[in-house]
Homo-oligomer: A and B are copies of this chain.
Amino acid sequence: MRYALLAPGKRIRPFFVAESARLFDVAEIHALQAGAAIECVHCYSLVHDDLPAMDDDDLRRGRPTVHKAFDEATAILAGDALLTFAFEILSNKATHSDAAIRGELIAQLAQAAGKDGMAGGQMLDLQAESEKVADLGRIVTLQAMKTGALFRFAVNAGAVLGKAGAKERAALALYADHIGLAFQIADDILDVEASSATLGKTAGKDKVAGKATYVDLLGLDGAKAEAGKLVREAKDAMQLFGAKAEIFIAAADYVVSRRK
């Protein structure tokens, strides 16, 4: 669990939890609680996705994947325990005494991670891979579930913790959905353009697996244009928060400019 969770990573989901919490002047300890929980869920998904029966990957965050460093049984159980630990963290009333807010976060995290979110999206991804069907609508739906739902949870967490209004939540949701999609498109672009050494994971993997990527469907230039458009719209939505949204604007630019 430690090997998977404390490996060098971008921590982009906890980052968004912390920054959205800052928009609503939420106590830092509450943001850390939600941020720790979402990172547990994200890391569990990496451990299970890397398993031989899934994406069968040897390298993650620049190190051997968990089933390579230990063994498959350990990887399965470490993933299971990390997922469970996320809910243990969120249900800790010593960290956050408001049971209604904790309950809303738990409900949202479970929906984002489960059959109608990340796990369901991963299943659709495996089916799409074996059927070799490339369809833009399908890949958008699939990615919205597989990676978008957890992303939206992260960006929305501060609004839940800060009991924000509907207008603020809608702006954050638009930002999250657009950035989540742009992030995925950027990943597909990086998978084509970057080396394994830079990525810290195996490059060119999607092509070998025969996965339909945004680059396949839109072309390299088309994918870059689409990511750029999504980022612009995401930044526009955040104007609502004025100067406080500065870091969200910078983060949006980072998503498409990052090299790994």
A contact residues vs B (CB 8 Å cutoff): 1, 44, 48, 51, 53-54, 71-74, 76-77, 79-81, 83-85, 87-88, 90-93, 99-100, 102-103, 106-107, 109-111, 113-115, 119-120, 122-123, 126
Q: Could you tell me the distance in whole angstroms from the C-beta of A102 to the nearest C-beta in chain B?
A: 6
Q: Are A73 and B99 also in contact (CB < 8 A) when A84-B115, A107-B92 are?
A: no
A77 touches B107 (CB 8 A): no
Q: Which 8 A-B pairs have the closest CB atoms?
A: A53-B72, A84-B114, A88-B110, A91-B107, A99-B99, A81-B119, A81-B115, A87-B110
B103 touches A48 (CB 8 A): no
A113 touches B92 (CB 8 A): no
Is chain A's interface secondary structure helix, strand, loop, or mixed overall? helix
Number of chain copies forming the complex: 2
A87 partner residues in chain B, CB cutoff 8 A: 87, 106, 109-110
A72 partner residues in chain B, CB cutoff 8 A: 53
B88 touches A119 (CB 8 A): no
B122 touches A110 (CB 8 A): no
A123 partner residues in chain B, CB cutoff 8 A: 74, 77, 81
A76 touches B91 (CB 8 A): no
A88 partner residues in chain B, CB cutoff 8 A: 107, 110-111, 114
